[in-house]
Structure 1
Amino acid sequence: MSILLAGCTHETTDQQPALKQEKAGFNKDAALTEVNTLLATADRQTGRLAGARQAVRFTREQNVFFPSALAVNFQSTPKTVTLPLYKGIGPSGNPTYYIITEAANFYVAKLLGVNFAPKLIFGRDTEGAQDVTLEGGMIRFEGDVDFSPVREVKAGPDPNTFPPAVAKPGAVGDAQYSPLLVLPSGSVINAPIVANSTGVHDHLVSIDYDRGTVVFELLDGFQGGAQFYFHLVTESSDVGAATIERGTYTPRLAQLPAFGQSYPTDESALLGFSPVSNGETGFNSPNRQGLNSTILDGNLADPINIFPLDPENNKQFNNNYSPMWDAHLNAWTPQAIAAGKRRRIRSLEELQQLVKEGLVTNFAGNVGAPNGFVAGLKPTNAIINCPVIAQPVAAVVTP
């Protein structure tokens, strides 16, 4: 279901810069050895991963991008995915549990059975990433997450309610924590911590430490005019976004390059997308959409954000996917609201047309230069780590 956005044809005839840069600080053989070590250790601990690396078990209609997903449930409320769980070592030496969702190298991604996200290589050698080591076949983390806080969010003043008046996230990463890991080989992976001695991630449904599996909630969105763009929310660099979307507040992510740069030729680990700040509310409304709805209508009221493209895990070159989504918040104008024009925005093309018509504009907190990739909107300087899992056809999804 990938789309070609108007004005987004910036492709090279060779390799995109991210792949060229990888060669300078990356040892492919060492990276694949690292992966085999991690998988072999997990096999010994759980006996589970060998089966996870078998052929894809999903149908074309389910359209699951994530190769190592163990199961998906598009009929439950909330929708869920079962993923392999890895055991690592926290900074204090205590067990730390994490998932792996993306890799910056094509061959590493294939071996792990995760999404290929070459743009993530630009996070290496920046303060937005976390350098880790291997110890006993496991990753030893420098940073950690506190899952013990009690999440609290209170609506801002009418009529928009967003941004919230109170935003206290349910999980907080320390100054060293980032889910973007740089392994000793120079390989870069997206590996969010989801459980440790302080508790578990707020989107976690269940966890089986012995079998090495975790069930995570899927959030919804729109891409290319179609709904059911199912993804995880694991972290955010912004305290408000982390609280509203129940992610881990991770300030270090804000140091990844570069806000407002979303084209394949940009030296950026980020990819632009557009949350709605002030859409229609009411849990059962067919037009419900927006961060204000999630605040008012409850945890299960996904913001239903607008995304530009699918993961393309078999596309080695000119691949623009990244799970580090650069938020370009949009807002319906007071005139559009008064005229009853608000509806669900289903694609970046539709958003671009609404901006052109003057019905939708930048959220008041947006800063910097307009980004042509995201309808000419400015970035909000907030990153949300949202690994994409699937975009099934409507027939296999129970509302």
Structure 2
Amino acid sequence: MRKHIFAVLLVAPLLLWNCSDSDDDGYTPKDSGLNYEMAYQEMVKLMDSYKEDSGKELFDPGAPSKFTEKQNVFMSNAISIKLDHTAPTVTLPVFKGEGADGGEVYYIITEASDYQIAKRMGINYSPKLKYARGSQGVQLVTLNDSGRMKFKGKVDFSPVRRIVPGDGPFAFPPKVAEPGAIGDAEYSPVVVLPSGLVMNATPLKNATGLHDRLPEGQQSIDTDKMEATLQILDGFQNGRAYYYHLVTDAYDNVPATIELGIYAPRLGKIPQFGQSTLDQESALLAFSPVGNGITGEADPMRQGLNSAILSDKNGSGADAPLDPINVFPIEPANHQIDNNYSPLWDAHINRWTDEAIQQNKRRRITSFEDLKSLIKAGWVTSFTPDAGPENPYVGGLHASNAIINCPVIAHPYE
């Protein structure tokens, strides 16, 4: 494919910029596992292939934002977003790649491990992703002669999603959880290019079918315009609702089924469960789903995995289940220094204690600070205390050993 002169001229100063130890945001350490020059060449090829397929530039970082400050959209290259709180969606650029079988794969890129590349492509910056490099949890990819990503792993979108509530006192954990998409042993959305660049790249369409997060099926993805409209989910962060994120994949079949993601067992090999602070070399970041919160679709305090399962009327996802409304610690501010964001969320499932339920203490948990105070008071504890390590970052809750790939899209101010 012909290389655009404009793209080459654009990349040259960025290469020099990233070779320094600092920029206008301050000091940032080098990524010793990344070949910067090769990574920018890969970026140019990806952006050129997108332009060839769509007829437009992927993103212009110098152009005025499409979004208002109040909308607080983190994914700068998003084409549009609907924030009506009833059926929120985001429309993102779609790339065309090559599958392991040589067929076409249409996918999205939501994060990159390098600041300048993320900034230039208009995606989220996640430096923690570099800690996935070298693990068995990633998928090694290349770019073909057309500059399109060539995948080793495959995703089967043909299964019919099915979930059956559990027989215990709560619907969670479910008795049956059969996800609507299954990745093979080679598949991971965390891809590593030859330069060492780590990206979050999830397929939405191939010969077997479509991702369940496309609300109108085939009508939600346009392979001429190279864009797709996806359902986004609500959550809480820092006391504020409408922390909109996109569930794309999960390591465990249960969250993959509940949240309409791809079951990606290879994700479970990405280090390290139960480690979340900036100084820990983990690609994961803790968040906390509620296991047994209040149910009832009209209840303003509704929250939790139990509630989401019960809202899935026929168990097939034909009518999208209600969001679990999980609790998250930080936003992807996309700044270069002291950035602890990762889309690979390490689930620490919490539960209200029997005493809390008996004393009518249950309500919505709205922040990590709120969660920690409830743990300290003895009203909330770990749902899976024997699964993974205790994590002080989440008030001492235990990791549930489930990774959910949730790129964060926006957190609008109300």
TM-score (norm 1): 0.92
Alignment pair present for 1:301 and 2:322: yes
SS at match of 2:174: coil
Structure 2 equivalent of residue 346 of structure 1: 366
Identity of paired residues, percent?
50
Aligned to 1:324: 344
**Which stretch of the first structure deviates more once superposed, 383-392 or 39-48?**
39-48
Matches within 5 A, 1:114-263: 114-135=123-144, 136-205=146-215, 206-263=220-277
Residue 378 (structure 1) aligns with: 398
Q: Distance in 1 between matches of 2:267 and 2:356?
A: 34
Amino acid at match of 1:287: M
Partner Cα distance (1:236, 1:119) in 2? 18
SS in 2 for 1:316: coil
Q: Take 1:293 and 1:276, find their aligned partners in 2: how far apart are those partners?
A: 9
Name which of 72, 87, 92 aligns with 1:78. Answer: 87
Stretches of 4+ aligned residues off by more than 4 angstroms: 50-53
**Structure 1, residues 99-131: CA drift from partner, whole Å, max 9, x if none?**
000000001101211000000001111111011
Q: Which residue of 1 aligns with 2:68?
A: 59
1:333 matched residue in structure 2: 353
1:117-165 deviations in whole A, cap 9, x for unaligned?
A: 0000011111110110110110000001000000000000242111000
What 5-or-longer segments of structure 2 have no aligned partner?
1-25, 313-319
Root-mean-square deviation over aligned CA pairs = 1.4
Moved more, 224-233 or 357-366: 357-366
Q: Determine which structure has greater relative contact order: mean sequence separation of CA pairs < 8 Å that are 6+ residues apart, divided by chain length.
A: 1
CA deviation after TM superposition for structure 1 residue 52, in Å: 6.1
Distance (Å, rounded) in 1 between the aligned partners of 2:398 and 2:98:
39
2:37 to 11, 29, 34: 29
The alignment partner of 1:226 has SS state of coil
Structure 1 residues not aligned, in runs of 5+: 1-13, 395-399
Between the two proteins, the alignment pairs up a number of residues equal to: 376
Q: CA deviation at 1:77?
A: 3.7
- Alpha carbons 1:78, 1:300 under 8 Å: kept: no
- 1:50-94 Cα shifts (integer Å, max 9, x gaps): 466543211011010111001000127410000000000000000
- The whole-number CA distance in structure 2 between the counterparts of 1:77 and 1:160 is 25
Query: Retained in 2: the 8 A contact 1:52–1:70?
Result: no
Q: Is the 8 A contact 1:329 1:366 kept in 2?
A: no
